[in-house]
A and B are shown apart, each in its own frame.
Chain A
């Protein structure tokens, strides 16, 4: 399989997941989007040496994943591809930060490692929550949410078209890439071939764009795309939003692990 196939199938896989049916899928996309953003801001707002108090936040991705019926393998596999950029930027912390923390009397840990692990935890939490958002909400749901949260219609419509025609154009691109890789006996595609392939794809894209424009005009398009109002906040959405955000505030404000640990040890 070429890397293109992988990316394309991945897209299709998430797309399929996002049209699933579950409690989480049925929630209003605006609510999910806002809750996810509050979650991420709460997580990244901890100071850089925080590890333990990040742990309770795993409740959110775990809930979204299980209640949304998303295979854990999918999320875990995604997490394994830890962004090289994050690792590269974080890995110098242990080397450059020589301060130490006292864990128990006699036991110390390097502050650099603490902040490095903190970065990794943040990575897991933020990336998994973004992925789970899209795996439980159709992309069009996200677009509707962005539109009703105030982003300009022109921008949102353009995203709708982009997503719709990605499946058409990426399909065409895939056939072309396969054709090339078969003929080049898996030596990879050279830059010249790549440019020509994109040139051909571009011409098809322009043809397609013209045809879509004509089809839009044929149905009375006058420069503005109108949408039916379709989102409605229900009781479930409110409950989900209130409970999650309350939990995030509690997790952020109070040292839950310290409190529980204190109870147990005493």
Chain B
């Protein structure tokens, strides 16, 4: 499930952008001390392979509906987590640009949800321990299904958290989670089976390819995971506290549901104050302004809906006129182009 710009606030989108592209840079640098230069074309070509595979629909047994794969776990198994993460990130970038899946700002979230969890959580912590040396196709089957399901569920949960943090949708946290997780369980089962099928095919047709692992340096994977988790924890903490200080609507009630109380435990902490200071220094977006004495959260909620949301009649008339002007500008440019 792709996160979308329309549901995101800039702070959430920006934080995950920073996290995801930071991780891409980290992975790319790690690949510098690779063992085999073959990985340079291989990554691109396998990306093209997964991207082509995603375009193929197949029938899901017993349902009559059709599905397609996401391929993140497949890439992690074929290329190792670092290269796999880089490749799935590029696939997501292309999907975003060409198919409008998500959006540019949501890209950070999508790379995080659909790339990081499969490659850096599900692969090293679920797939590898279960698949073991990769000698038994039954173990590969179980490992793939469980790995894909874990990766997808984490991703789905993360979509919910991002949506709720952004506060654009009214969906209550628990109901949202309750809707998302079962859907992804089903998707994960199917994708897990397909992944296992392909891995077992590769094992038979190219013996040694997966076992040799000469292409993807696995050393330090656990270190990578620890770093990823640390980044994740920091980001989540940072985003939460940012919101606690700047954006009481939206988060207000969702936090209430998550924590059972109105205020976040981290509120007032160092991070919060830090973010608040930065934010005060760089207030570009007036709507994010917080009252000078920052005790004003409750006021904002009470004062809601605020009078400046532009629902007055003059605003409606003005918006209509602006819309018409834009239409004319567009038609004017097109007309000139056609004549010229």
Contact = CB atoms under 8 A, between A and B. Distances in A.
Interface residues of A, number: 131
Nearest to B24: A155
Contact of A195 (B4, B94, B198): B198
Interface in B127-185: 163, 167-172, 176
A262 B323 CA distance: 16
A27 interface: no
Interface in B48-65: 48-49, 51-53, 55-61
Contact of B315 (A65, A129, A225, A257): A257
B267 interface: no
Nearest to B163: A89
A191 B194 contact: yes
A56 B327 contact: no
Contacts of B330: 62-63, 65-66
A73 interface: no
Contacts of A114: 309, 311
A16 interface: no
A142 B319 contact: no
Interface string A145-182: 00000011111011111111110111011000100000
A96 B172 CA distance: 9
B6 interface: yes
A47 to B, nearest CB: 5
Interface in B214-267: 249-250
Interface in B22-50: 24-25, 27-29, 31-32, 37-38, 40-49
A160 B335 CA distance: 36
Contact of B5 (A40, A46, A102): A40
Nearest to A6: B55
B104 A261 contact: no
B10 interface: yes
Question: Which of B51, B52, B101, B171: most chain A CB closer than 10 A?
Answer: B52
B287 A209 contact: no
B205 to A, nearest CB: 6
B312 interface: yes
Given A14-B98, A123-B6, A173-B55, A158 B43 contact: yes
B282 interface: no
B275 to A, nearest CB: 16
B321 A261 contact: yes
Closest 5 A-B residue pairs measured CB to CB? A161-B44, A261-B318, A257-B318, A261-B314, A199-B201
Given A102-B311, A133-B97, 5 more contacts: A40-B104, A66-B330, A67-B337, A157-B44, A191-B61
Interface of A: 2-4, 7-8, 10-11, 14, 22, 36-37, 40-41, 43-53, 55-56, 58-59, 62-63, 65-67, 69, 78, 81, 83, 85-86, 89-90, 92-93, 95-97, 99, 101-104, 109, 111-112, 114-115, 118-120, 122-123, 126-127, 129-131, 133-134, 139, 142, 151-155, 157-166, 168-170, 172-173, 177, 187-199, 201-203, 205-206, 208-210, 212-213, 216, 221-223, 225, 252-253, 255-262, 264-265
Interface of B: 1-2, 4-10, 13-14, 21, 24-25, 27-29, 31-32, 37-38, 40-49, 51-53, 55-61, 66, 86-87, 89-91, 93-94, 96-101, 103-105, 163, 167-172, 176, 190, 193-194, 197-198, 201-202, 205-206, 209, 249-250, 285-288, 304-305, 308-319, 321-323, 326-327, 329-331, 333-334, 337
